[in-house]
């Protein structure tokens, strides 16, 4: 048996090296430990402080340099102590024998096993020098918390290099070796400190430490590092690990696309902003930064603090499905432009009632609870008007938008178009921050999709064109137009940069989610602010919550890059427009500007909203051809489309009168008498309304309007027989504060005619 060779695993074992996750520059983010080998870092014996060697020899094997692998005296002493105690209270293994166990792994206990261990120890002493054995032991002994070897233990328990360990710290670590679980300093620090004193006393007994030194060291405090995994960018690292192939897991290192310097900036920016929002019930934020050309994930912060269990910090919100608010609107307008609309196309942003597939009324509201009349697409998108966006979606179709979003990379949109409805453009769906940032890549990439890339070894993908370069550029032009967004956001806000940046905010119902998505030609930045438990924030919006983080991160992400504008396609040209109508300016249109168009889509029709009308000076009504010139005057007015006239009157626009003057001879102009019968035009009979509990009562009123013969000058409105107001011609407009239940609304004209409708009011479920 003596002639049999030692197993190779005992003489020259294969290294147990953790998988290193590196950033793009080689900075170590994390070491994924071998489940069997834990964290291990080989040291040369010369790198081990003398104090640590002395503590080890004094505590574990005082005769190490004099025995031949087995200490017979220690064996008999241990047997006697165990006999007296009636149980095992003392071991007799030398450092050489312990190294055998470390390298062999888990083995059966028993006399045969101990004899085999002793035989291997004697043989190993003939093959390796004492220093080689000691070095091997120091690199393999287990300290607890997956720390194998002194270097790993120094890092895990003290976050120190081995060379920086003090004498008390060396004694503290060596003390853990005897029983890593019993002396676990994170759970039983008092026991670990007691064991440290035992080790220091052994050093004194072995003449490796003077008594006065012992008296000094036992009084020194031992400061442990926090009990947390040594990791940077944890959400990103664990996402990378979960997506590695089996081959990649077998490597010693994986170089990711992450930029640790930028990641630190992102995390610091989130920390600063959350401190400012602390009183608004805001506890978390997430952000991602992508390279717009390659898809490289340059930064990913999934929460404020991964280790904050109180606020679900381990939840990676960058990968969690949340409602994105208005950040989906650019895709709606992009599709409208694909279908022939332009940035100058106008849409009515007024109170509008839509109907769902089930026939229920749906009345979207703007963030400011106001209405903005006739607005061009540029203004509507830049200021994020909700009603305008819903009207645009109604034109292009929910199915069209849903398919487009899916093709852009939003894999969480799995429901049917009927499930989402027109509210899809307002973010009534769930997407992830990472996928939404990737989807935004179609705009700086001239309509070509972008796939996120986590490691530099992943192949670059060309993407697929799903949008024309012209439409992509027009969306970028609108989202980077600081002047266009002034009406809603003001001149000074977090989206204003000294270089071209396209950005879109999003705020969900009851402020549960704040978003800002934006990009330059080189970088895409997405930011979310909120609470992981979905509780609402107080008094925040995309611009005030996520906006400051977005601005700070975009500045950092763009540092050192050419801060250039978006490359304009040759087929994009500028043309003059009338700012109100979006058409070719007429001589009467004084508010004009210039807009960008795809070649061939420039407006051809001249503005007709600005016009001159003849007015009867005696009553301010329209004059017919029979009115004498002496009693008429020409006046310039704005002739809004019929659906916008009520809004225009309420906002003091000068409109043409709706009726003709009765003072002129109407015998030959009977077509202008506008005779009609009394009729309630709003609301309609059998209308069904739902009150939104999240909207202030003062902002929820039923609009009452009627048509009547021109001889009627006033209408008295009654609800359930109770007078609620008197309104005058021409549309007898009034409001009623609704209450829950069935109601009868009556219009009583001053010519004694009456008409009525019945409606139902109920609460909208949360």
79-117 per-position pLDDT tens digit: 555 555 554 444 568 988 888 887 776 455 566 677 777
Q: Which residue has the higher pLDDT, 678 or 103?
A: 678
Question: Would you state the pLDDT for residue 125?
Answer: 84
C-alpha neighbours within 13 Å on the C-beta side of residue 708: 25
- What's the mean pLDDT in 566-588? 96
Question: Would you state the pLDDT for residue 259?
Answer: 97
Question: Would you state the pLDDT for residue 668?
Answer: 38
Q: Check residue 35 and report its DSSP letter.
A: T
Which residues face 505 on adjacent strands? 516
Question: Would you state the pLDDT for residue 216?
Answer: 95
Dmax over CA atoms of the chain, in Å, equals 135
Same domain, 445 and 578: no
Q: What share of the chain is helix, strand, coil (3-state, %, to 5)?
A: 35, 20, 45
Last-in-domain residue among 189, 217, 245: 217
Same domain, 529 and 417: yes
Strands (E), 458-586: 502-507, 513-519, 523-530, 572-578
Rounded distance, CA 36 to CA 142, Å?
12
Last-in-domain residue among 217, 247, 272: 217
Rounded distance, CA 158 to CA 166, Å?
11
The listed range with the strongest mean pLDDT (271-275, 509-513, 533-537, 729-733) is 271-275
Same domain, 649 and 705: no
The answer to whether residue 730 scores a pLDDT higher than 70 is yes
Same domain, 451 and 538: yes
Tell me if 111 is assigned to some domain.
yes
Q: Which two tokens stand for residue 15?
A: 């290294």
* Complete edge-to-edge strand list for the sheet that includes strand 688-691: 688-691, 754-763, 741-749, 714-719, 722-728
The answer to whether residue 658 scores a pLDDT higher than 90 is no
Tell me if 252 is assigned to some domain.
no
- What's the mean pLDDT in 62-83? 70
Question: Would you state the pLDDT for residue 353?
Answer: 86
Percent residues over pLDDT 90 in the chain: 62
223-273 per-position pLDDT tens digit: 999 887 778 999 999 999 888 877 776 677 899 999 999 999 999 999 999
Rounded distance, CA 671 to CA 687, Å?
33
In this structure, are residues 146 and 169 in contact, taking their beta carbons and an 8 Å threshold? no
Tell me if 248 is assigned to some domain.
no
Which of 677, 678, 676, 689 is closest to 758 using CA atoms?
689
pLDDT band at 667 (very low <50, low <70, confident <90, very high): very low
Question: Would you state the pLDDT for residue 104?
Answer: 72
CATH of the domain at 748: 2.60.40.10
Rounded distance, CA 18 to CA 113, Å?
30
CA triple 549-554-555, angle to 5 deg: 105
Q: What three-state secondary structure class fits 325?
A: helix
Same domain, 624 and 532: no
- What is the SS3 assignment for 447-478? CECCCCECECCCCCCCCCECCCHHHHHHHHHH
CATH of the domain at 382: 3.40.710.10
Same domain, 535 and 587: no
Same domain, 209 and 326: no
Q: Are strands 346-349 and 572-578 parallel, antiparallel or unpaired?
A: unpaired
138-186 per-position pLDDT tens digit: 988 889 887 888 998 998 899 999 999 999 999 999 999 999 989 999 9
Rounded distance, CA 758 to CA 183, Å?
79
Question: Would you state the pLDDT for residue 692?
Answer: 78
447-462 per-position pLDDT tens digit: 999 999 999 999 999 9
Rounded distance, CA 63 to CA 71, Å?
8
Rounded distance, CA 6 to CA 12, Å?
10
Q: Which residue has the higher pLDDT, 33 or 316?
A: 316
pLDDT band at 9 (very low <50, low <70, confident <90, very high): low
Which of 181, 191, 248 is closest to 21 using CA atoms?
248
The answer to whether residue 35 scores a pLDDT higher than 60 is no
Same domain, 59 and 198: yes
Tell me if 287 is assigned to some domain.
no
Same domain, 552 and 700: no
In this structure, are residues 518 and 525 in contact, taking their beta carbons and an 8 Å threshold? yes
Same domain, 414 and 546: yes
- What's the mean pLDDT in 364-387? 94
403-428 per-position pLDDT tens digit: 999 999 999 999 999 999 999 999 99
Mean pLDDT (the chain) is 88
The range of the structural domain enclosing residue 155 comes to: 8-217
Rounded distance, CA 618 to CA 602, Å?
43
Question: Would you state the pLDDT for residue 696?
Answer: 77
CB neighbours of 339 closer than 8 A, spacing ≥ 6?
395, 396
CA triple 645-647-651, angle to 5 deg: 115
Question: Would you state the pLDDT for residue 554?
Answer: 97
Rounded to two decimals, what is the model's pTM?
0.72
Q: Which residue has the higher pLDDT, 133 or 85?
A: 133
Rounded distance, CA 427 to CA 484, Å?
22
The answer to whether residue 131 scores a pLDDT higher than 90 is yes
Question: Would you state the pLDDT for residue 247?
Answer: 72
Tell me if 1 is assigned to some domain.
no
Tell me if 279 is assigned to some domain.
no
Q: What three-state secondary structure class fits 630?
A: helix
Tell me if 430 is assigned to some domain.
yes
Q: Check residue 544 and report its DSSP letter.
A: I
CATH of the domain at 185: 1.10.3810.10
Tokens 């105690």 correspond to 85
Q: How many structural domains comprise the chain?
A: 5
Distances (CA, A) of 740 to 1, 353, 398, 541, 725: 96, 19, 32, 31, 20
Which residues face 597 on adjacent strands? 573
**CB atoms closer than 10 angstroms to residue 633:** 12
Same domain, 527 and 597: no
Question: Would you state the pLDDT for residue 669?
Answer: 41
Same domain, 647 and 716: no
Question: Would you state the pLDDT for residue 92?
Answer: 63
Question: CA-based Rg of the chain, rounded to a whole angstrom?
Answer: 39
Percent residues over pLDDT 70 in the chain: 90
Rounded distance, CA 378 to CA 375, Å?
8
Phi-psi region of 571 (alpha: psi -120 to 50; beta: other; left: phi over 0): alpha
Strands (E), 269-388: 284-291, 297-301, 346-349, 354-355, 361-362, 373-376
Tell me if 505 is assigned to some domain.
yes
In this structure, are residues 265 and 298 in contact, taking their beta carbons and an 8 Å threshold? no
Question: Would you state the pLDDT for residue 672?
Answer: 41
* Complete edge-to-edge strand list for the sheet that includes strand 679-682: 679-682, 702-707, 734-736
Last-in-domain residue among 622, 643, 672: 672
């Amino acid at each position: 048996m003596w002639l049999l060779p030692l197993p190779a695993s005992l003489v020259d074992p294969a290294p147990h090296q953790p998988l290193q996750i590196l950033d793009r520059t080689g900075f170590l983010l994390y070491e994924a430990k071998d489940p069997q080998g834990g964290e291990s870092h080989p040291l040369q014996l010369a790198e081990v402080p003398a104090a640590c060697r002395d503590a080890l020899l004094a505590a574990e094997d005082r005769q190490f340099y004099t025995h031949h692998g087995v200490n017979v005296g220690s064996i008999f002493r241990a047997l006697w102590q165990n006999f007296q105690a009636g149980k095992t209270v003392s071991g007799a293994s030398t450092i050489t024998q312990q190294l055998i166990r470390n390298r062999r792994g888990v083995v059966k206990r028993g006399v045969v096993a101990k004899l085999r261990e002793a035989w291997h120890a004697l043989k190993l002493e003939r093959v390796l020098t004492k220093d080689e054995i000691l070095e091997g032991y120091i690199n393999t002994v287990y300290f607890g918390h997956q720390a194998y070897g002194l270097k790993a233990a120094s890092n895990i328990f003290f976050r120190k290099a081995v060379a920086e360990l003090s004498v008390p710290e060396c004694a503290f670590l060596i003390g853990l070796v005897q029983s890593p679980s019993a002396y676990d300093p994170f759970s039983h620090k008092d026991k670990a400190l007691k064991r440290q004193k035992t080790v220091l006393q052994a050093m004194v007994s072995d003449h490796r430490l003077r008594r006065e030194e012992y008296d000094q060291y036992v009084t020194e405090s031992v400061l442990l590092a926090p009990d947390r995994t040594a990791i940077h960018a944890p959400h990103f690292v664990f996402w990378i690990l979960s997506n590695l192939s089996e081959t990649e897991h077998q490597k010693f290192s994986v170089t990711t696309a992450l930029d640790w310097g930028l990641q630190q900036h992102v995390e610091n920016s989130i920390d600063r902003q959350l401190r400012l929002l602390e009183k608004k019930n805001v506890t978390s934020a997430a952000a991602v930064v992508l390279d717009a050309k390659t898809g490289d994930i340059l930064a990913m912060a999934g929460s404020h603090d991964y280790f904050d269990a109180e606020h679900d910090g381990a939840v990676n919100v960058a990968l969690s499905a949340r409602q994105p608010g208005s950040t989906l609107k650019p895709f709606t307008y992009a599709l409208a432009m694909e279908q022939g609309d332009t940035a100058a196309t106008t849409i009515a942003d007024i109170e509008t009632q839509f109907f769902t597939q089930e026939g229920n009324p749906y009345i979207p509201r703007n963030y400011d609870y106001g209405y903005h009349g006739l607005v061009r697409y540029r203004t509507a998108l830049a200021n994020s008007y909700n009603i305008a966006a819903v009207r645009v979606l109604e034109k292009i179709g929910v199915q069209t938008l849903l398919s487009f979003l899916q093709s852009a990379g939003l894999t969480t949109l799995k429901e049917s178009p009927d499930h989402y409805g027109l509210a899809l453009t307002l973010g009534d769906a769930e997407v992830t921050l990472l996928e939404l940032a990737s989807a935004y890549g179609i705009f700086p990439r001239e309509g070509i999709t972008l796939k996120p890339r986590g490691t530099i070894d992943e192949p670059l993908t060309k993407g697929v064109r799903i949008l024309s370069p012209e439409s992509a550029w027009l969306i970028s032009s609108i989202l980077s137009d600081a002047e266009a967004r002034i009406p809603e956001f003001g001149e000074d806000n977090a989206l204003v940069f000294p270089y071209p940046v396209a950005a879109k905010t999003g705020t969900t119902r009851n402020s549960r989610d704040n978003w800002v998505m934006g990009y330059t030609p080189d970088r895409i930045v997405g930011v979310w602010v909120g609470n992981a438990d979905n509780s609402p924030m107080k008094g925040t919006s995309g611009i005030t919550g996520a906006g400051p983080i977005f601005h700070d991160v975009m500045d950092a992400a763009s540092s050192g890059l050419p801060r250039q504008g978006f490359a304009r396609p040759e087929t994009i040209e500028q043309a003059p427009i009338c700012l109100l109508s979006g058409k070719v300016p007429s001589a009467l249109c004084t508010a004009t500007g210039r807009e960008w168009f795809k070649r061939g889509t420039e407006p051809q029709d001249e503005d007709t909203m600005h016009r001159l009308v003849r007015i009867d000076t005696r009553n301010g009504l329209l004059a017919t051809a029979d009115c004498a010139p002496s009693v008429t005057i020409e006046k310039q007015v704005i002739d809004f489309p019929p659906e916008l006239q009520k809004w225009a009157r309420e906002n003091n626009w000068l409109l043409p009168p709706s009726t003709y003057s009765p003072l002129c001879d109407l015998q030959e102009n009977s077509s202008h008498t506008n005779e009609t019968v009394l009729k309630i035009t709003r609301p309609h009979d059998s209308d069904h309304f739902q009150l939104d509990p999240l909207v202030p009562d003062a902002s929820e009123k039923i609009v009452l309007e009627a048509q009547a013969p021109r001889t009627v000058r006033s209408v008295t409105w009654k609800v359930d027989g109770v007078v609620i107001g008197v309104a005058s011609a021409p549309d007898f407009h009034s409001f009623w504060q609704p209450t829950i239940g069935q109601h009868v609304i009556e219009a009583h004209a001053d010519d004694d005619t009456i008409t009525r409708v019945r409606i139902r009011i109920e609460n909208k479920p949360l």
